[in-house]
């Protein structure tokens, strides 16, 4: 193989560096003197200091040097705003921006894209000009979904990439370690600062047997989600291995890794194999494949390596699955879901079937869905439900159009939407049901939290494979098992659908479609980035205040949240996405989806200064205006979902000093810690033993303390002067009857993070050090 192979065709001067990876792995292997998992090889291979870094899975923090950064347009705004405020001239590692989150699905691809370009003109302009100035590649709206573009162009075995989107792990399908982070982490890496990650544990998933029939790669992760649940992957990399791996296409492996985000995993990864080689060759990267062949030892796990947990799945026995509603880990075999739905009162009628998204929009996915659609069409049947298709990239769109799949999917009743996230992120102008009307939709997406797709909390969303979505959209009911049930043709003929088929990759080359990429000039220093001070979409950032040096006294409980509190509850997506670059405006969505434990209401909390009830952001603004700081109190796995730094930035902006919860979702801890913002230091959490968290109260103490913290309490957080890693803080809770309780607060801050807290934020700290 060639000695110097470019990381991508767009960066001819940045090379794949397997030698360094090998050297670092050798150093670590000598130190640890044990077989390594693949995850460990790639992660430790990117250590800033492989000789001295303390390595202990689940305990120590690693300082890493990722190879590249990717950002989607919603998160890139805040990341670029932060990068600009760092004052650096150019990004330190290859980085890209992808415009995929802001395109609303209304009538179809062409019109929707044209409208989005108009509506988001200001944001796209800002990102394009900031990208050009600071050396970041810019993928224009219409180019496709970030993770598909990464798979097609940037991911390769052994690379470490961080992306400001929770489904970044998609690249694990190409043997890469790709981790979803907050915008602030991206800023660190783009600024050339080592990036911190708690040394991940490794969950092994051993696959035996092989996929066949209606069972698809999606079913592997739907099954794994059912076993491990939405919290099961916290703090861990899920590493697939075993003889079953080779029966899965590269894009299928990407699907599995993509949806690993739903179990809270740091990321997921597959070992380098011939399926990846073929994919690399087909996407114009045969040279990387040849080099990977040479270094294949470091791109697979060592024999006898140890996993922290092991799950085994026999693909021969795996049945098609469908998960939901409202949570991606509620797994049902497709054969059972109809019966379960009847028992539970979930609407059986499927109103809309939606295929595509970053999870399932490969050439193979589209081919298999089309093969199902074709059988119905041949019998004169169309979809009973509405049916939409979101191609993952311009390349996929152009190729499935050329090869006739789009026509079949349209003929069966489908609407091909823009190459973008669309309904997956709530960018969906849905008209067929009213808000509040109970209904069922099935998607090939990855996430199905309440109201995610259409802002209707009564929509029952189920996630499954694109081929099952297609079958259910044709049948029009959840109570249909394509493996056993018959459809009726218009002439009365009863027929069964045959299992789907589809080529993994097109027999001809991919059709690249339109050129949608803007490469930054070699020197962007003379360029200007405009942010209009009148804009309601973009706002330059003001630094957060430094810590005063004193303990925090008389904090109000803004809200005590009941039950699930995902990033969608804390900072809703959909219509709010347009304010991603404007912290003050987007803060008007803070916690408006969370349930107030005091009255079970949403966005209705008591203002303890006035005695009146109001919306959460309004009360917070009132407290802030009156100099009253506050805390929010939550339950388990607070902040699960996206790498949404706004979920951490907004409370800080509106005056929060701490978030006190039973446990944090990993992604939210990272957001808060790295983000250099709010909860940073003062984030408080009640922790399940062994789980990552910021500051926590022991469970038994909580119990002893009765309901511990009540909505009308005030809280003091003490011990900040001696804030140190592993040393609990104290919360003194004052109840309204005058009684007091003291709780011990655990936290997970290390020295560096504590220095960020003291500086007011990590960005402040970066400036102090400059």
* Region near ligand F3S per CB under 6 A, out of 142-150, 273-281, 494-502, 662-670: 142-150
Greatest alpha-carbon span in the chain: 80
Subset of residues 579 to 618 that bind ligand F3S, contact rule: CB under 6 A: none
- Among 127, 132, 313, 424, which residue interacts with ligand F3S (rule: CB under 6 A)? 424
* Region near ligand F3S per CB under 6 A, out of 226-234, 341-349, 419-427, 540-548: 419-427
> Which among 447, 460, 537, 608 is annotated as catalytic?
447
- Look up residue 145 and give its two tokens: 């979904």
Question: Can you tell me whether residue 178 is helix, strand or coil?
Answer: strand
State the nearest-atom distance from the C-beta of 681 to ligand F3S, in Å: 31
Angle, CA 586 vertex, CA 583 and CA 592 arms, to 5°? 135
- Among 43, 71, 99, 145, which residue interacts with ligand F3S (rule: CB under 6 A)? 145
- Among 165, 262, 568, 679, which residue interacts with ligand F3S (rule: CB under 6 A)? 165
State the nearest-atom distance from the C-beta of 147 to ligand F3S, in Å: 6
State the nearest-atom distance from the C-beta of 98 to ligand F3S, in Å: 9
State the nearest-atom distance from the C-beta of 424 to ligand F3S, in Å: 3
State the nearest-atom distance from the C-beta of 425 to ligand F3S, in Å: 4
Closer CB to ligand F3S, residue 424 or residue 729?
424
101 carries an active-site annotation: yes
Binding status of residue 446 toward ligand F3S by CB under 6 A: yes
Binding status of residue 257 toward ligand F3S by CB under 6 A: no
**Are the C-beta atoms of residues 708 and 697 closer than 8 Å to each other?**
yes
What is the C-alpha to C-alpha distance for residues 272 and 172, in angstroms, rounded to an integer?
Answer: 10
- Among 425, 671, 684, 743, which residue interacts with ligand F3S (rule: CB under 6 A)? 425
State the nearest-atom distance from the C-beta of 520 to ligand F3S, in Å: 23
Closer CB to ligand F3S, residue 500 or residue 574?
574
CA distances to 97, 195, 342 from 90, in Å: 14, 18, 58
Total Cβ atoms within 10 A of residue 619 = 25
**Are the C-beta atoms of residues 288 and 20 closer than 8 Å to each other?**
no
- Estimate the crossing angle of helix 363-378 against helix 466-475, to 10 degrees: 20
Closer CB to ligand F3S, residue 424 or residue 561?
424
165 carries an active-site annotation: yes
* Region near ligand F3S per CB under 6 A, out of 140-148, 209-217, 297-305, 307-315: 140-148
Closer CB to ligand F3S, residue 390 or residue 603?
390
CA distances to 243, 316, 321, 478 from 224, in Å: 17, 15, 11, 22
Name the nearest CA neighbour of 277 among 265, 264, 290.
290
Closer CB to ligand F3S, residue 539 or residue 643?
643
- Which DSSP helix (H) or strand (E) runs through 467? helix 466-475
642 carries an active-site annotation: yes
Closer CB to ligand F3S, residue 165 or residue 188?
165
Angle, CA 386 vertex, CA 381 and CA 390 arms, to 5°? 110
- Among 25, 113, 130, 146, which residue interacts with ligand F3S (rule: CB under 6 A)? 146
Binding status of residue 357 toward ligand F3S by CB under 6 A: yes
Binding status of residue 39 toward ligand F3S by CB under 6 A: no
Closer CB to ligand F3S, residue 445 or residue 756?
445
> Which among 46, 98, 644, 657 is annotated as catalytic?
644
**Are the C-beta atoms of residues 639 and 566 closer than 8 Å to each other?**
yes
Check residue 247 and report its DSSP letter.
Answer: G
**Are the C-beta atoms of residues 331 and 232 closer than 8 Å to each other?**
no
- Residue partners of 650: CB distance under 8 A and separation at least 6: 570, 571, 583, 586, 587, 589, 590, 678
> Which among 67, 73, 165, 403 is annotated as catalytic?
165
State the nearest-atom distance from the C-beta of 390 to ligand F3S, in Å: 7
- Residue partners of 178: CB distance under 8 A and separation at least 6: 150, 155, 159, 160, 161, 162, 163, 168, 169, 170, 171, 172, 257, 267
26 carries an active-site annotation: no
State the nearest-atom distance from the C-beta of 145 to ligand F3S, in Å: 5
Binding status of residue 568 toward ligand F3S by CB under 6 A: no
Size of the site for ligand F3S (CB under 6 A): 13
| Helix (DSSP H) and strand (DSSP E) numbers for the chain | 25, 31
- Estimate the crossing angle of helix 762-769 against helix 751-759, to 10 degrees: 90
Q: State the residues that interact with ligand F3S by CB under 6 A.
A: 100, 145-147, 165, 167, 357-358, 421, 424-425, 445-446
Known catalytic residues? 100-101, 165, 447, 642, 644
């Amino acid at each position: 193989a060639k000695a110097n192979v470019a990381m991508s065709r767009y960066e001819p001067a940045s090379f794949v560096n397997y030698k360094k990876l090998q050297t670092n792995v050798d150093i670590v292997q000598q130190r640890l003197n044990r077989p390594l998992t693949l995850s460990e090889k790639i992660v430790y291979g990117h250590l800033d200091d492989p000789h001295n870094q303390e390595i202990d899975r689940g305990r120590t923090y690693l300082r890493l040097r990722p190879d590249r950064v990717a950002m989607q347009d919603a998160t890139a705004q805040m990341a670029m705003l932060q990068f600009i405020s760092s004052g650096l001239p150019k990004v330190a590692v290859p980085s890209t921006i992808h415009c995929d989150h802001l395109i609303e699905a209304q009538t179809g691809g062409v019109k929707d894209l044209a409208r989005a370009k108009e509506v988001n003109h200001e944001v796209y302009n800002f990102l394009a000009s900031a990208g050009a100035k600071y050396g970041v590649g810019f993928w224009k709206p219409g180019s496709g979904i970030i993770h598909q573009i990464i798979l097609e162009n940037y991911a390769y075995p052994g690379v470490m990439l961080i992306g400001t989107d929770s489904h970044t792990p998609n690249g694990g399908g190409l043997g890469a370690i790709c981790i979803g982070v907050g915008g602030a982490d991206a800023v660190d890496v783009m600024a050339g600062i080592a990036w911190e990650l708690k040394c991940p544990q490794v969950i092994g998933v051993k696959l035996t047997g092989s996929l066949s029939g209606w069972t698809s790669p999606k079913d592997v992760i739907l099954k794994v989600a059912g076993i491990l649940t939405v919290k099961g992957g916290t703090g861990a990399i899920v590493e697939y291995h075993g003889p079953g791996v080779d029966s899965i296409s590269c894009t299928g492996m990407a699907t599995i890794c993509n949806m690993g985000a739903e179990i809270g995993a740091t990321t997921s990864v597959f070992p380098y194999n011939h399926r990846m080689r073929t994919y690399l060759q087909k996407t114009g990267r045969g040279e990387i494949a040849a080099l990977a062949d040479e270094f294949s030892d470091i791109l697979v796990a060592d024999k006898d390596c140890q996993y922290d947990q092991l799950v085994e799945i026999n693909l021969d026995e795996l049945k098609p699955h469908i998960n939901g509603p409202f949570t991606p880990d509620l797994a049902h075999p497709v054969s059972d879901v109809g019966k379960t739905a009847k028992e539970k009162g979930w609407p059986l009628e499927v109103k809309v079937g939606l295929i595509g998204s970053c999870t399932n929009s490969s050439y193979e996915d589209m081919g298999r869905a089309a093969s199902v659609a074709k059988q119905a069409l041949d019998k004169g049947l169309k979809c009973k439900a509405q049916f939409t298709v979101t191609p993952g990239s311009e390349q996929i769109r152009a190729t499935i159009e050329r090869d006739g799949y789009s026509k079949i999917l349209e003929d069966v009743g489908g609407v091909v939407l823009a190459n973008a996230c669309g309904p997956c992120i709530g960018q969906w102008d849905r008209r067929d049901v009213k808000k509040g009307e109970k209904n069922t939709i099935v998607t090939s997406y990855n996430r199905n939290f309440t109201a995610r797709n259409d802002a209707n909390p009564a929509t029952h969303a189920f996630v499954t494979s694109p081929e099952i979505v297609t079958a259910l959209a044709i049948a029009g009911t959840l109570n249909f098992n394509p493996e056993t049930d018959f459809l009726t043709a218009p002439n009365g003929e009863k027929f069964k659908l045959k299992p789907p088929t589809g080529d993994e990759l097109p027999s001809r080359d991919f059709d690249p479609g339109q050129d949608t990429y803007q490469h930054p000039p070699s020197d962007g220093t003379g360029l200007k980035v405009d942010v209009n001070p009148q804009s309601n979409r973009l706002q330059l950032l003001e630094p957060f205040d430094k810590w005063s040096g004193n303990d925090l006294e008389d904090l109000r409980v803004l809200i005590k949240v009941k039950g699930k509190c995902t990033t969608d509850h804390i900072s809703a997506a959909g219509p709010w996405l347009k304010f991603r670059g404007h912290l003050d405006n987007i803060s008007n969505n803070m916690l408006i989806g969370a349930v107030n434990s005091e009255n079970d209401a949403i966005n209705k909390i008591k203002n303890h200064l006035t005695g009146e009830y109001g919306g959460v952001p309004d009360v917070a603004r009132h407290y802030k205006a009156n100099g009253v700081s506050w805390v929010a109190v939550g339950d388990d796995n607070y902040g699960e979902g996206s790498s949404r730094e706004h979920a951490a930035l907004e409370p800080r902006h509106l005056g929060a000093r701490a978030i006190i919860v039973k446990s944090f979702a990993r992604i939210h801890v990272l957001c808060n810690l790295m983000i250099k913002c709010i909860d940073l230091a003062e984030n408080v959490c009640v922790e399940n033993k062994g789980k990552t968290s910021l500051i926590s109260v022991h469970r038994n103490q909580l119990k002893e303390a009765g309901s511990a913290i009540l909505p009308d309490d005030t809280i003091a957080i003490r011990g900040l002067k001696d804030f140190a890693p592993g040393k609990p803080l104290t919360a003194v809770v004052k109840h309204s009857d005058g009684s007091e309780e003291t709780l011990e607060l655990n936290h997970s801050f290390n020295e560096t993070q504590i220095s960020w807290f003291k500086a007011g934020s990590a960005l402040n700290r970066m400036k102090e050090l400059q």
